[in-house]
Chains A and B, each alone.
Chain A
């Protein structure tokens, strides 16, 4: 139980607070509209559907405020930087910004559904009231506004209208339909299947949020939710007059009631975040216009492109990522890449694999240019860079013992981390608290990662020179082996270096036995705090998280494992 609190406590608290605020807002506005005396006549026409429409609307206001905030990357980086004095676990929450964004989006979807259904019922009943299908009071209420000096209650002004006509001719109706449609398109294109496979569709469709917010701000401008004015309530005694609708205006106790529409309130909620988001985009644009010098381009085996770049006033931390844009391939597309260089170097680099349209085009473009001019090319202004943006890897130096697990393409942030740790170790940098690193590299095949094997090779060489082979211990796991592999390994068993990678550490085949690994590390470091960093699939994340929970001791003097996950 203690382990769960340590690992998940803060996230759970944030969720509880968020849900609590939602519930509070819902109940408060529900009761406001369901019990408020100024809505008595409105409720007579609409029944409980009035409150059921207005309460989700309030929750929607709150959530539309929240949804823009987790995607302001620069704002989050700023908070992260200024929170350096705060506890590590608080800063970790900022990693989960995308999960929070999705959660808020689900709530918006749900509340939109409730709100829309309630308003559908409202429109139908308003229409029926206007046509005189219900009792006298309803008919009388609906007819208010037909004569001059009267303010209407029922927004449907003519008995010959249909709900569909009203929906498409009122501001609230037409904006409602448009923004709900945008929301549906945004949600269907954000499904995991589409997002992971065709990022461009997801990204472009997601920009319908501009229409969503524009429509949202104007949605209440028609003021069609009406309530009785204060003055009118003073003059017109509802309890007495509600039974005498036909006498209104004729007897003294019951002058015609006056109504007014509620002022649109959504803009007050969403204006702040919208301004913040506009600033965010402008900042991204400004940063991207800064000149980027392409210092070196290298094509590694298996079609991996390395770009070494320099940019003025660019300072990075380990494991951060940048967004790259190549206007000659696509004007509007920005793609994230983890940086593979260390902050101690005077350039920053990314390694790009050919995974989709954009990367394929970039690699073929570079190859074409390289063929034309032999050697490296320095093309300025070809690439724009936005970033860097921070992730959890900045914490890796804080732990005495670190377990780094990289799966497949997820090994890239660890290139930066390992290089940086090695630089810091060489300089005996005080910031480095790390005494020992365990690095696990899992991949189906080493194809496309030869450059990383080269990096490990050079690190191995340097460590051996200084007699510090104990600092870093790494294990490579090839999960996609078959009989030919096994045969090959059997034949070369006695060789000093590994036959596949050429490294001193032999390659393991299959998946690691995490229980054993955690057990070994716990026995080797019985009193340390161990940070576990993963960049890989969710399934493995769950396994590691549960191992961390199981092998951690609640006693702070004994070994404790903290789990950190990168997500892209």
Chain B
């Protein structure tokens, strides 16, 4: 079992435990059990906010390449990441879960959730002892395929090609000139602002046909 990242299992367990605690809390409140205030705590304070939101974003796997993220976890990843070392460190998470599980033990519907959270806390402790950390899965930026080093950028203008002008001489593009090329394709010069070299009035076009 050398290569396992315990945090992954702890994460699944904690998420399931949070949901169980939530269910137990709802049963306790809906059934108007004695000590239902503990159940209300189970729903409001703990399971929803801390466990489910904290655990929902899956962490990145250190060893292997693919990390499968849960649906819609991107926004929560940003929130969880914002807490920095508090959420990154698994000792903190283990302690947090251990403390948060205690109130669940006071009434029967939430007892199961309490034990499950405690188990998740133990697995997190194991993960922390082994030095694991929570890394956010950030969306991949698509890197453009760059052609090989030997291939140069093909020229963007047909010949003849006058030398490139300084940037301040570039004019607005027109339908004849390429928008991002600073030379008009007809007169092959950078037209001054407002008026084409050929004397045509310029709105979008440099040299109007």
Contacts and interface: CB of A to CB of B under 8 A. Distances in A.
Task: Answer whether A and B are interacting partners.
Answer: yes
Interface of A: 113, 116-117, 120-121, 123-124, 127-128, 162-164, 167, 177, 180-181, 184-185, 187-189, 191, 193-194, 197-198, 200-201, 356-357, 483-484
Contacts of B119: 181, 185
Nearest to A357: B2
B112 A198 contact: no
Interface in B87-119: 107-109, 111-112, 115-116, 119
B13 A121 contact: no
B202 interface: no
Contacts of A180: 112
Interface in B147-174: 147-148
Contact of B8 (A124, A187, A197, A357): A197
A184 B16 contact: yes
B31 A194 contact: no
B209 interface: no
Interface of B: 1-5, 8-9, 12-13, 16-17, 20, 23-24, 27, 31, 33-34, 58, 61, 64, 68, 107-109, 111-112, 115-116, 119, 145, 147-148
B12 A124 contact: no
Contacts of A200: 1, 4
Contacts of B109: 117, 120
Question: Which 9 A-B residue pairings sit nearest by Cβ, starting from the closest?
Answer: A198-B4, A163-B108, A188-B12, A164-B108, A188-B13, A120-B109, A200-B1, A124-B33, A188-B16
A534 to B, nearest CB: 21
B1 A357 contact: yes
Contact of B112 (A127, A128, A181, A194): A181
27 contacts: A116-B112, A120-B31, A124-B33, A124-B108, A127-B34, A163-B33, A163-B108, A164-B107, A177-B111, A177-B115, A180-B112, A181-B112, A181-B119, A184-B17, A184-B116, A185-B13, A185-B119, A187-B16, A188-B13, A191-B12, A193-B12, A193-B68, A194-B9, A194-B12, A197-B4, A357-B1, A483-B147
Nearest to B146: A483
Nearest to B33: A124
Contacts, number: 83
Contacts of B27: 117, 120-121
B20 A198 contact: no
A184 B20 contact: yes
A177 B34 CA distance: 20
Nearest to B15: A188
A113 B111 CA distance: 14
Contacts of A201: 1, 4, 9
Contacts of B68: 193
Counting chain B CB atoms within 10 Å of each CB, the highest count among A167, A191, A200, A484 belongs to A191
A123 B108 contact: yes
B144 to A, nearest CB: 13
Contact of B111 (A167, A189, A197, A357): A167
Contact of B3 (A120, A127, A177, A198): A198
Nearest to B20: A184
B12 A181 contact: no
A61 B147 CA distance: 64
A123 to B, nearest CB: 6
B14 to A, nearest CB: 9
Given A113-B23, A120-B27, A198-B1, 19 more contacts: A117-B109, A120-B24, A124-B34, A162-B108, A163-B108, A177-B111, A180-B112, A181-B119, A184-B112, A194-B8, A194-B9, A194-B12, A197-B4, A197-B5, A197-B61, A198-B5, A201-B1, A201-B9, A484-B148
Contacts of B108: 120, 123-124, 162-164, 167
B59 to A, nearest CB: 11
Nearest to B105: A164
Contacts of A484: 148
Contacts of A163: 33, 107-108
B64 A197 contact: yes
A184 B17 CA distance: 9
Contacts of B23: 113, 117
A117 B113 CA distance: 13
B108 to A, nearest CB: 4
A162 B111 CA distance: 13
A191 B68 CA distance: 12
A177 B114 CA distance: 12
Contacts of B8: 193-194, 197-198
Contacts of B2: 357
Contact of A181 (B33, B116, B145): B116
A430 B184 CA distance: 77
A113 B109 CA distance: 12
B76 to A, nearest CB: 17
Contacts of B17: 184
Nearest to B31: A121
Select the residue from B12, B108, B109 with max chain A CB neighbours within 10 A: B108
Contacts of A198: 1, 3-5, 8-9
User: Which of B4, B9, B24, B147: most chain A Cβ within 10 A?
Assistant: B9
Contacts of A197: 4-5, 8, 61, 64
Nearest to B120: A188
Contacts of A177: 111-112, 115
A541 to B, nearest CB: 19
Contacts of B64: 197
Nearest to B16: A188
Contacts of B1: 198, 200-201, 357
Contacts of B61: 197
A142 to B, nearest CB: 16
A188 B6 CA distance: 12
Contacts of B13: 184-185, 188
Contacts of B34: 124, 127-128
Contacts of A194: 8-9, 12
Contact of A188 (B5, B9, B107): B9
Nearest to B14: A188
